[in-house]
Structure 1
Amino acid sequence: MPKRILEGVVVSDKGDKTVVVVVQRTLLHPVMKKIVRLSKKYHAHDEANAFKEGDVARIRECAPKSKLKRWEVLSKDTPASAS
């Protein structure tokens, strides 16, 4: 079974080897028929402490690493349009 991969913005990097990532998603409200934005915070394992606040991170599901950490960050990619 493939693991889920989400993308979001790092809002906290204060914990050792841990980052908090906010993932936003949009959906159509069933009654109001308006687009609604929802966000959720995920605690993710960052072994190298590579991600800083404001970075865009991709996270994927993993086996539980602690009480809150059920996700891990994928390796930091270099931006393709860095010139």
Structure 2
Amino acid sequence: MENRKERKERIGVVTSNKMEKSIVVSEVKKVKHPLYGKFVKQTKKYVAHDETNDCNIGDTVRIMETRPLSKSKCWRLVEIIERAK
């Protein structure tokens, strides 16, 4: 039997929850500029599936890669790490 590849996981902050059963998660990473050496913030947005509509804006969440669920949605919510204050 073939083994599945390890699924990718990301941790980010919910920036939008206006869609039904979907959230937008932003992941921020600091990358060193190749020429100048300054650390620059880069933001990547992921559309993730939230079955229970439980997330709110500002929550820190963990998402996991899954099969494509729509044109732009191929991540699903695993857990809410920290609620927004």
Q: TM-score range by the shorter chain?
A: 0.7 to 0.9
Cα distance in 2 for residues equivalent to 1:7 and 1:49: 18
Unpaired segments of 5 or more residues in structure 2?
Answer: none
Cα distance in 2 for residues equivalent to 1:77 and 1:32: 35
Superposed displacement of residue 75, structure 1 = 2.8
1:17 aligns with 2:34: no
Higher strand proportion (structure 1 or 2): 2
Q: Which runs of 4+ in 1 moved over 4 A?
A: none
CA 1:40–1:78 in structure 2 vs 1: closer, same or farther (change >3 Å)?
closer
Q: Provide, for residues 3-35 of structure 1, a one-character-per-residue CA deviation record: whole Å limited to 9, x for no partner.
A: 111111101101010000111011111101111
Count of residue correspondences: 79
Amino acid at match of 1:12: S
Unpaired segments of 5 or more residues in structure 1?
Answer: none
Q: Alpha carbon RMSD of aligned pairs, Å?
A: 1.5
Amino acid at match of 1:51: C
TM-score, L = length of structure 1: 0.88
Which residue is 2:34 aligned to?
Answer: 30
CA 1:27–1:15 in structure 2 vs 1: closer, same or farther (change >3 Å)?
same
Q: Tell me the percent identity.
A: 38
TM-score, L = length of structure 2: 0.86
Superposed displacement of residue 77, structure 1 = 4.7
